[in-house]
A and B are shown apart, each in its own frame.
Chain A
Amino acid sequence: MIDNRPLSPHLSIHKKLLTSIFSILHRITGIGLSISSILIVIWISLLSFGPNYFFVFQMISETFIFKLILFFWSLGIFYHLFNGIRYLYWSYGLGMNLKSVYISSYIVVFLTIISTFILWFLIR
């Protein structure tokens, strides 16, 4: 890959707009979900290694810290998913005027919160 693309502008010198905050959040959740995808691979590997190894995961999964991480994972995955769908239809040039962008931003926030709430209601 040719590495001569212009660098993104420094985050600190721009006024924080809703659109830029959503873009930054998409990248932050993307990094978090990338790490979690590696953890999913480790989880299924423990399942394959045998019950003793999987028991270690089960012990960790009962801790409060794990449940807290799982909560933020669910919040991140729903945000990245719904915001990603918005990016997909932007790729076709749809819904790119400012009013549509703001409306879809609020829809993303609403769907993220409601989906996370439903998920945790189901796994309580």
Chain B
Amino acid sequence: MVFNKMNSHVFTWVVQRITALFLIPLTFWFIYQCICFQNLEYLELKIFFKSFINSFLFLLMMIAMLVHAKIGCETIVQDYISTNYIKIFFKRFINFIIFSSLFLLIVTIINLNIAQ
């Protein structure tokens, strides 16, 4: 495996670029959907997310976005905070928020697709 030969910083750098590549078309797709959402009511929005392709693209975009955000925020913390315990605190805080959001997102998408 190529990834086995990479150190963690190179791996993070590659993941940041891969998620960015995913986010380019998906962000345009989401912005287009946001324009359409403005006239939709609650039930119409639920129907939109019941579609497999819409849910899949939204989930893919959000996972890429959250992973991209996690790496980006951790890099900023790494670059600008010198005190070690504050740095660790912020990194753990970012991890907690991102993983909680990912969990909530996946449960929500499953719930929207299963619930009547």
Q: Which residues of B contact A47 (CB under 8 A)?
A: 42, 45-46, 49, 108, 112
- Flag B86-115 by CB within 8 Å of A: 1 or 0 each: 010000000001000100110011011001
* Size class of the contact patch on chain B: 35 or more
Instruction: Classify the interface of chain A: helix, strand, loop or mixed.
Output: helix
Contact among B35, B62, B69 for A30, CB-based, below 8 A: B69
Chain A residues numbered 1-15 whose CB sits less than 8 Å from any CB in chain B: 1-3, 5, 7-8
Total interface residues on A, CB under 8 Å, equals 33
The total of Cβ contacts below 8 Å across the A-B interface reads 90
Q: Which residues of B contact A55 (CB under 8 A)?
A: 42
CA distance A30 to B16 in the complex (A): 12
Ranked 7 nearest A-B pairs via Cβ: A34-B69, A8-B79, A48-B108, A41-B101, A37-B65, A30-B72, A48-B111
> What is A's interface to B at a CB cutoff of 8 Å?
1-3, 5, 7-8, 27, 30-31, 33-34, 37-38, 40-41, 44-45, 47-48, 51, 54-55, 74, 77, 81, 84-85, 87-88, 91, 119, 122-123
